[in-house]
Structure 1
Amino acid sequence: MGVERIGATFAAREKEGRKALIVYLCAGDPSLEVTAAAVEELAAAGVDIIELGVPFSDPVADGPVIQAASTRALAGGTNLRKILDLVKDLRSRVSLPLVLMSYYNPLLQYGLAALAADLAAAGVDGLIVPDLPLEESAPLREKLAAVKLAAIPLVAPTTPAERLQQIAAAAQGFIYCVSLTGVTGARESLPPGIAAYLARVRETTDLPLGVGFGISHPEQARLLAPLCDGIIVGSAIVRELHEGGLPAAVKLVQNLRQAI
């Protein structure tokens, strides 16, 4: 389903007058079995799209919460192949879009042609690669396009206008709008200038805009929702799952869903 499943999800939420709720889970933290249960329970609690993070030894875009989760997942033996097996198993039970978020090195080591084929066979819908610049992304984007999977780019408040247009032209699925400069992690307030920044991105594309990095509680999500098409929550979910288990993560998702 790939790009189509992502597009249909955003279209369905728009028709309902609601925003898509997108959450990030670090696959394998604390185990792949818990990740599988989390996907099913969070989907039932109102999540629309789930990003499964591929743990990596040097997650440069991530703050301490996701770094720690990545370290735990790697220590437990989680790798890309096992995550693909997990998605394949989940596909018989969940219909929502599943997107992998991975740094480029594990993908390159896997082999791009084999990766695209195996992503499609497993039922993955798209890929987000935070450390892959546009100039170097064509080989991966071409392989994904051939199997109708979304190459979802990130843009930031510091992205210049011309580059924003180039990124938007190459994007599929949705555009991941990083809400602030810096790494992932829960923040207590909305960054200044966010409305003007998102309006600038909106002018360059018809694709949905998902906003993430730093969104930690329902009130932030409620304030941001009118400015975008989807709210992305990562570190706050990972922290709740680690500290309070699946019930705590489900409760946060229910509160976020209500807010947007």
Structure 2
Amino acid sequence: MTSSEIRTSRLEEVLGATRAQSRAALAVYLPAGYPTLDQSLDTFRLLATYADVIEVGLPFSDPMMDGPSIQHANAQALQAGFRIEDVFTTIRELAAISTAALLVMTYWQPVHRYGPERFARRLAAAGGAAAIIPDLPVEEATDWLRAAHEHGLNTVFVVAPNVTDQRLARLCGAGSGMIYAPATAGVTGTQGPLHPGLNTFVDRLRGITPLPIGVGIGVSTPEQAAVAGSFADAVIVGSAFIRTIEANPGPTGAIEAATLARNLARGLRSPLQSAA
């Protein structure tokens, strides 16, 4: 199944609207339930003021793609009593107050245990638009893609620059809504310069797929967001919010995270030379 078989989703609408404004969308990520469910809901509500896309993370005990910041946040959420139902609660509450496109970022094992059809049905009913499942190979994604299609959800694949154009075409053909390109090599939370070949990789993807390209993994400052946003359709930031919350315990963490989101959004609206 291809993106053309899925009706226009909220994710596609949002990315189309930001493209019409000649800017990249700001996508923010935070694990549900971090550091507690109530605190994460407070933070999500404030982030929704500035975000075009919100990725709600489903905490998992073995997040292999993630670096120390997200690993620690996942562990803390699980210790605080996180349940899968909390993801749907978070999506539902955000859908009631925000026009952002709402995505779930999860690993495959929790979805597989919960049941792909049941998970897709609950996500769509809560107001979700898409799911990112980075450890689900496209060759093994048939059950999920069928369930997602049935419930009008996009599936966003994470693609790597070291694979062939043939495989990229397969991933892009199976995915919908957006393609996720890593801004740096390695796990999430990398702090340092963006990959020097990122722009070239995005250009390569544009030659393969008409889907919007989101850039994340390693974007943490307004300056980096401005650079990535000059050639990507969406800029995705996650670990920087976790580090901000960790450095500011209690209610201050949500406020400081929202301040970071505001500055990132301003970076995406600023001329590139001002961010150099």
**1:174 and 2:182 equivalent?**
no
Distance in 2, matches of 1:28 and 1:195, equals 34
1:56 to 1:254, Cα distance in 2 relative to 1, 3 A: same
Distance in 1, matches of 2:11 and 2:197, equals 28
**1:39 and 2:8 equivalent?**
no
1:252 aligned partner, one-letter code: L
Distance in 2, matches of 1:93 and 1:155, equals 32
Match for residue 70 of structure 2?
Answer: 66
Tell me which of 110, 113, 120 is aligned to 1:109: 113
Aligned-residue sequence identity (percent) comes to: 37
Match for residue 155 of structure 2?
Answer: 151
Match for residue 122 of structure 2?
Answer: 118
What is the CA distance between 1:86 and its match in structure 2? 2.6
What is the CA distance between 1:181 and its match in structure 2? 2.5
Distance in 1, matches of 2:7 and 2:218, equals 27
Match for residue 16 of structure 1?
Answer: 21
SS at match of 2:185: coil
Tell me which of 27, 33, 36 is aligned to 1:28: 33
Q: Which moved more, 1:112-121 or 1:69-78?
A: 112-121
Distance in 1, matches of 2:219 and 2:89, equals 30
Distance in 2, matches of 1:216 and 1:133, equals 27
**1:221 and 2:225 equivalent?**
yes
Which segments of structure 1 move beyond 3 Å, counting only runs of 4 or more? none
Q: Which moved more, 1:50-59 or 1:222-231?
A: 222-231
Distance in 1, matches of 2:215 and 2:7, equals 20
What is the CA distance between 1:31 and its match in structure 2? 1.3
Give ranges in structure 2 of 5+ residues lacking alignment.
1-5, 269-276
Match for residue 59 of structure 2?
Answer: 55
Equivalent residues of 2:58, 2:106 under 8 A apart: yes
Distance in 2, matches of 1:159 and 1:215, equals 22
Tell me which of 93, 96, 102 is aligned to 2:97: 93
Q: Deviations over 1:108-163 (max 9, x none)?
A: 00011211111111111110001111111111011000111011101012122110
Match for residue 262 of structure 2?
Answer: 254
Equivalent residues of 2:107, 2:133 under 8 A apart: yes
Equivalent residues of 1:3, 1:149 under 8 A apart: no
1:117 aligned partner, one-letter code: R
2:100 aligned partner, one-letter code: L
1:2 to 1:240, Cα distance in 2 relative to 1, 3 A: farther
Normalised TM-score (structure 1):
0.96
1:187 aligned partner, one-letter code: Q
What is the CA distance between 1:2 and its match in structure 2? 8.4
Equivalent residues of 1:128, 1:151 under 8 A apart: yes
What is the CA distance between 1:82 and its match in structure 2? 2.0
1:56 aligned partner, one-letter code: F
SS at match of 2:260: helix
What is the CA distance between 1:242 and its match in structure 2? 2.1
What is the CA distance between 1:212 and its match in structure 2? 0.4
Tell me which of 84, 89, 97 is aligned to 1:80: 84
Count of residue correspondences: 259
Normalised TM-score (structure 2):
0.90
